[in-house]
Amino acid sequence: MVALIRETAELCQRRSKESHAIGFVPTMGNLHAGHASLLERALAEHTVVYFSIFVNPKQFGPSEDYGRYPRTLEQDLSVIRDCAARFPSSQVVVFAPTDPTEVFPPGDTQTIAVSGLSTILEGKSRPGHFEGVATVVYKLFNLVRPSTAYFGLKDYQQYLVISQMVKDLCLPVKIQGMPIIRETSGLALSSRNQYLSPDQRAASLVLSQTLRELTDLIGGSRDRISKARLLISDFLKDPNWNYLELRDAQTLAEDVDRSTHITILAVYQLGSTRLLDNVQVEVS
């Protein structure tokens, strides 16, 4: 069963009556199979799942795509209903606020900032982005009070920021990271892929191919990381890379000499569309 709630007051009222542990999937909507994989896992683990659809103005910079971000509620509800139909004894409560003021009433003053992690890589390219993300997720956690919240590793730095926020603020929620869902071409699914022209779509394959090539080169061996770094500096001659960086997977530190898990994080930009991807590599 799928219920739709459009106002925060109604959400609070409904939540106050729940007796089950809640699974939670926060999204900005325009759902694809990546989002559906989060919902499926949440439904496999909970009788009641809350699913938010909210294009959060606080995580967009002034020149970013907040205005044109695809808002497709009817289509999203049908993705959710299809998924929920496979779990007939579960309930999905969709929270899709009618207006940003439902979440951020005028005059609100609070911002959550996770220092360090929020100002590097994606945070450096998009100042204020992770403050906007952490603030909305914190607020949604307060409203939904989930036991487990599901986040895609596609947004790996976001997953680390949220995990750190939960730890720092002793929030009683488990953060479950979920694998990246890709097209057969390797391109990670994203609501922003639809901005790509056919030529840009073909060019976008460089992103996942490069991450795969670097993973294969490292082949699980820490000794090959220096070779990978050389190759990265060569790749970076292509100006479409916003960044392509090899970091410690837990801390995102540049020094990976003692790391057992590394991550390669990248943004490849085609026109005004920034395509974000990463891979995780175990090394010894």
**35 assigned to active site:** yes
CA of 152: how far to CAs of 26, 34, 97, 181, in Å? 10, 8, 22, 9
- Interaction of residue 181 with ligand AMP, rule CB under 6 A: yes
Q: For residues 146 and 15, what is the distance between their CA atoms, to the nearest angstrom? A: 10
The nearest distance, CB 169 to ligand AMP, in angstroms, is 19
Question: Which region, judged by CB under 6 A, interacts with ligand AMP, from 68-76, 178-186, 222-230, 275-283?
Answer: 178-186
Helices (H), 86-128: 122-125
Which helix (H) or strand (E) covers residue 149, if one does?
strand 148-152
Interface mask toward ligand AMP for 190-219; x: CB under 6 A: xx----------------------------
- In this complex, which beta carbon is closest to ligand AMP, that of residue 93 or of residue 228? 93
Here the contacts of 254-262 (C-beta below 8 Å, separation 24 or greater) are 256/222, 256/225, 256/283, 257/222, 259/222, 259/283, 260/284, 262/218, 262/225
* Single residue of 23, 34, 97, 146 touching ligand AMP by CB under 6 A: 34
Q: Decide: is 120 part of the binding site for ligand AMP (CB under 6 A).
A: no
Whose Cβ is closer to ligand AMP: residue 134's or residue 232's?
134
Q: Are strands 261-270 and 273-282 parallel, antiparallel or unpaired?
A: antiparallel
Give residue number: closest CB to ligand AMP: 152
Q: Which residue in 76, 102, 155, 245 binds ligand AMP (CB under 6 A)? A: 155
The H-assigned helical ranges of the chain are 8-16, 33-45, 73-85, 122-125, 129-144, 156-168, 198-203, 205-218, 225-235
Beta bridge partners of 278: 265
User: Of 7-15, 81-89, 180-188, 246-254, which part binds ligand AMP (CB under 6 A)?
Assistant: 180-188
Give whole-number Cα distances, 246 to 159, 207, 228, 234, in Å. 17, 14, 9, 14
Q: Could you say which of 20, 32, 35, 129 is catalytic?
A: 35
Closer of 84 and 187 to ligand AMP (Cβ)? 187
Residue 76 or 102 having the CB closest to ligand AMP? 76
Structure tokens at 152: 């895609």
Q: Is 152 in the site for ligand AMP (CB under 6 A)?
A: yes
For ligand AMP, which residue of 103, 117, 136, 178 counts as binding (CB under 6 A)?
Answer: 178
- Told to check if 180 binds ligand AMP by CB under 6 A, we report yes
- Does 154 bind ligand AMP (CB under 6 A)? Our answer is yes
- The alpha carbon dihedral of 196, 159, 63, 143 has a sign of positive
Chain residues in the site for ligand AMP (CB under 6 A):
27-28, 34-35, 37-38, 151-152, 154-155, 178, 180-181, 188-191
Q: Active-site positions? A: 35
